[in-house]
Every structure is written in structure tokens, then in C-alpha cells.
Structure 1
Amino acid sequence: MVDFQYKDSYDVNDLVEIVRILRSPGGCPWDAEQTHESIRRDFLEEAYEAVEAIDEGSTEHLKEELGDVLLQVALHARMEEEQGSFDLNGVADGVCKKLIYRHPHVFGDVAVSGTGEVLTNWEALKRKEKHQATHTDALNSVARSLPALWRAEKVQKKAKKAGFDWPDVSGAVDKLSEELSEFKAAVAENSNVEEELGDLLFSAVNAARFVKVDPEAALQKATEKFIARFRRVEELAGDRPMEDMDLAELDKLWEQAKHQA
């Protein structure tokens, strides 16, 4: 039995202590074996589950999932503490200093007219802080671990700050049509298909940005719509297995499902 004080209510300091015990000799063998790399995916999954709780509007679920995210932070910080690098307090110190630095209109004497100016100042301070001397440096700073649609959108927004953008949505739509034609040609020739598909998706994100649609959310909704219609097709098929039907029959059922939605 480990030396641990049980309580009716715990705080962040208790979490730090529990994680320390779990990774110490006599603690949990699994926790002790983990590395930054081994739980990298866990971190991403917990963050997505927290977002799902936000989408659900469930306060209790959100509290639980934020706890799981906090656990991931505590675990990574503990790993670094064991190496003598930094601990959770060091993480908090860093983000506190960052917030103070990037809010001179709150913690300093800078005056702002509104949210737009706040965001402009934030970006300028961030570039200075990250030593981003060029616009390309800013584009390269966008995390490659982001979902591809979101990363493309962020890169495009940073390019816009350099003046590299169409004046309105028509340019983005025309480019999308152009990329679709190039993708069709690539498929027909069976050449550069992946590259041309990437260009098409990148252009679709650009069009989404102009009409103020989150491309990730739009694709998620399209996927949910597909699942709902697919379910209806399967229901309409009745006792016949879908795999025994030809495409023409399935298309007919799909059109029925589409008009019933």
C-alpha cells in the first residue's frame, strides 16, 4: 500500500502527486512504461472527446473529459520532471507569461479599439515571440499534426495576412472548378492523382473560408448525412441483403432515401 492521503475532494496538486506515485517504483507498471510517444494518440483522442462533450452541451461530460485532458498534461509534465527538465508548475509559468505578454491591453498600457485590433496585436506579438521573420515562417509554424483541413485553413489565413488572397469568393470558386478539371484529367490518365486530389481539397478549403464555413465541421455533417441516408437505404432494401443488389437498384433506393430526408 502506497503512502497516500485519501480525501473527499482533490485538487490539481493531488493530481500531480497521484501521477508521481503511478510512475514511481511500486506504482503502476503500465503508467511507468509510458513515454511522450506512446501516449501521443491518447492526448489527441482525449482532446477530441472533450470537444464532443462541448458539442453535446453536457456540463458533466465536459468536466469528465477536461479531467482526462488534464491527466494527459500532468503525465507529459511528469515525464519531463523525471528528466530534470520542467514540471507542471513550469508549464503554468510559461503559459501565464505568454498570456501577460500577449495581452498588453490588459496587463500593460496599450489601448485597443476592439476584438479586431486585439487579434492583430496578438498575431504580431506571436510572430515576434516565435522569431518569425518572414510570412513563410508563419506558414511553417502551423502544426503539421492538425487535421489536414484545419491546417490548410490556418495556412490560408496566414497567407491572407501577406495579401496573398482573392478579393472575393468568385476567385476561390473558379480555382475549385479548375482543380476539379485537373483532378478528372489525372484520374483519366492515372497520373499524379494524389497531388491533384490534394490541390482540389485545398481549393475546397479556400472556398469554405470565403463563405465562413468550417471545412472540418462541413465534412463531419456530410458524413453524418451519408450515414443517415445509408441507414434508410438499408431499411428500404428490407430483407434483401444490400450486397446482393446491383448499383442501379441501390441508386434508386438512395434517391428514395434522399427525398424522404
Structure 2
Amino acid sequence: MADPVKPGRSAPIARLEALIETLRGEEGCPWDKKQTPDTMARYLVEEVYELVDAIISRDSTAVCEEAGDVLFQLLFVVNLFRESGQFSLSDVVEKNVEKMIRRHPHVFGDVTAETPATVSENWEKIKRKEKGDGGCHSVLSSIPPSLPALLRASMVSERAAKTGFDWDDISGVMAKTMEEWEEFSTEINNPVYASGSDKAAMEFGDILFTMVNVARFARIHPETALIRSIQKFEKRFTYMEEKSFQAGRDIVSLSMQEMHDLWDEAKQTVG
């Protein structure tokens, strides 16, 4: 089988690696020289979220810049492990190429997979086979507990559904959403309800998790959908603040009707 990785693409990466080595070198930057994998993990996560935000905003200039920041942070982390003699970038690439070839037998082997669904099913089977010790491995075990809750809920939902534990169609999960809403409403309207009770919080969480399943059936990623809604709200609310300032008013001094009028104006003006 021919190597699927085409030659002649390493020069830009080599430049970035050389830059990192300079920053970490004897004449380099004091901040860069003191970093560890643990400290860099935080910055990597932050840069990834900035990249996601740029992608969702469809701002290609920002995507280009943020992708560069993510690549820098990632190579920085790899360089830290190389310095300690644990592995190099070549090790990372080779291991990943081997895994990708192994998990794409429909491209590099004799397996047939005509649809994305079949590819996904085969992928999960290969992952389970890779465990290889005959023990019981949960399909959920590789989902990082530290992920944001909405993203983690989406991954848990998808993994569980691939085992066949799922609703027949979207109508079933939407009905379940209404059921969860009724349970939450019942708890909130209970005469003995205590504000912020654990039971109410759990019922509200059930609503959110069920809505994640609705999104899956609708082929909507809940994390990116929510980010887009937040961006839309921020744009409209900032417009309201700016218009209030231009009128010599603080937004907190506006009446509710004035706020609603500005909100409607923002919807027509900034989308």
C-alpha cells in the first residue's frame, strides 16, 4: 500500500518547530521557558474555543489566525514531551497515520462502506477491537469528563445511540422532552418547592439532556447551535446598549417597552 501522506508539506511545520525551540532556548523567552504540559493544556483549550468561535462566525480571516494559534499551542506541547525524551512530532504523526489507515479499511483495505453511517459503525467496531484484552469496555469510557457539559452530553448521546439504545424517530424523543418539561413544571409549582432544590435541578438537567437527543435526531450539533444563539443575542444586546448611549441614556434607565422597541430594531438592523 502506498503511503497516503504526500511529501513536501513539512516546511511550514519545520519553521514553527524552529520558532518554538528558539523561544524555549537559552536566549529565548522567560515565559515560554517556564511552561509545562499542565500549564499549556489550559491555553490549548482556550485557543481551540477561539477557533471554534471563528468557524461558527464564518470569519475566514479569523479562522486562519486562530488555526495558527491552535497549531502553535499543539506543537508547543509536543515539543515539551520531546524535550523530556518521551516522544517526538514524528512519533505523533506516525502513530496517527497508522491509526487512521487502520480505521479507514474502506479506503485502504477491502471493506465496503458506502454511507457515513456505515463508516461510523465500522469505526466504533474497530475501536472496540483495538482494546483487545477481552474485558468489558464502556463505549462512554473514552469521553473526557472535563468536557463542557453540553458537548459531553452530545457525545454520550451519540455513543449510546450507536449501540441501538435509542428512540425510533424524533417524535419519540420530542414527546420525552415534553414529559421531562411537565416533571420540571410540577416540581417548580409544588407548594413546598425550595428555590434551587436538587430535585428541580435534576429535572431541569433531564430537559437539557433530552433536548440534546432532539438535536441529534435533527442533525444539529447542540454546542455550535447554542454558540450561534449566544452570538446573536450578544450582537443584538450590544446594539441596544450603543443606541442607548447615543441617545444619552444608560440602558438600565430604559423602560421595558423602550427595551422591547430597541430589541425589535436590533433584530431588523443587525439580524
Which bracket does the TM-score occupy, shorter chain normalised?
0.7 to 0.9
Q: C-alpha displacement at 1:105, in angstroms?
A: 2.1
Which amino acid is the alignment partner of residue 254 of structure 1? H
TM, length-normalised to structure 2: 0.78
Q: Which residue of 2 aligns with 1:201?
A: 208
Equivalence for 1:253: 259
- Alpha carbons of 1:134 and 1:168: their partners in 2 closer, same or farther (altered >3 Å)? farther
Q: Which letter does structure 2 place at the counterpart of 1:242?
A: I
- Partner in structure 2 of residue 157 of structure 1: 158
Cα separation, 2, equivalents of 1:130 and 1:251: 61
How far apart are the structure 1 equivalents of 2:37 and 2:113? 40
Q: Does 1:222 align with 2:229?
A: yes
Structure-2 separation of matches of 1:136 and 1:173: 30
Q: How far, CA to CA, are the matches of 1:61 and 1:225 in structure 2?
A: 18
Structure 1 217/12 Cα, relative in aligned 2: closer, same or farther at 3 Å? closer
Q: What is aligned with 1:244?
A: 253
RMSD (CA atoms) = 3.0
Structure 2 unaligned regions, length at least 5: 1-10
TM-score by length of 1: 0.81
Residue 6 of structure 2: aligned partner: none
Is the CA contact (8 Å cut-off) linking 1:233 and 1:250 kept in structure 2?
Answer: no
Corresponding residue of 1:99: 100
Q: Distance in 2 between matches of 1:133 and 1:206?
A: 31
Distance of 2:148 and 2:134 partners within structure 1: 26
Q: Which amino acid aligns with 1:81?
A: R
How many angstroms apart in 2 are the aligned matches of 1:82 and 1:194? 47
Contact 1:135 1:158 in 2 (8 A): no
Report the Cα distance in structure 2 between the residues aligned to 1:242 and 1:17, rounded to whole angstroms: 51
**Cα gap change, 1:15 to 1:229, in 2 (>3 Å):** closer
Query: Once the 2 structures are TM-superposed, how far is the Cα of residue 206 of structure 1 from its aligned partner?
Result: 1.4
Q: Which amino acid aligns with 1:93?
A: E
Deviation at residue 102 of structure 1 after TM alignment: 0.8
Gap change, CA 1:206 and 1:233, over 3 Å in 2: same
2:23/2:33 contact within 8 Å kept = yes
Q: Give the number of the structure with larger relative contact order, counting CA–CA contacts within 8 Å between residues 6 or more apart.
A: 2
CA distance 1:134–1:214, shift in 2 (3 Å): farther
Partners of 1:226 and 1:55 lie apart in 2 by 14
Gaps of 5+ in 1: 1-9
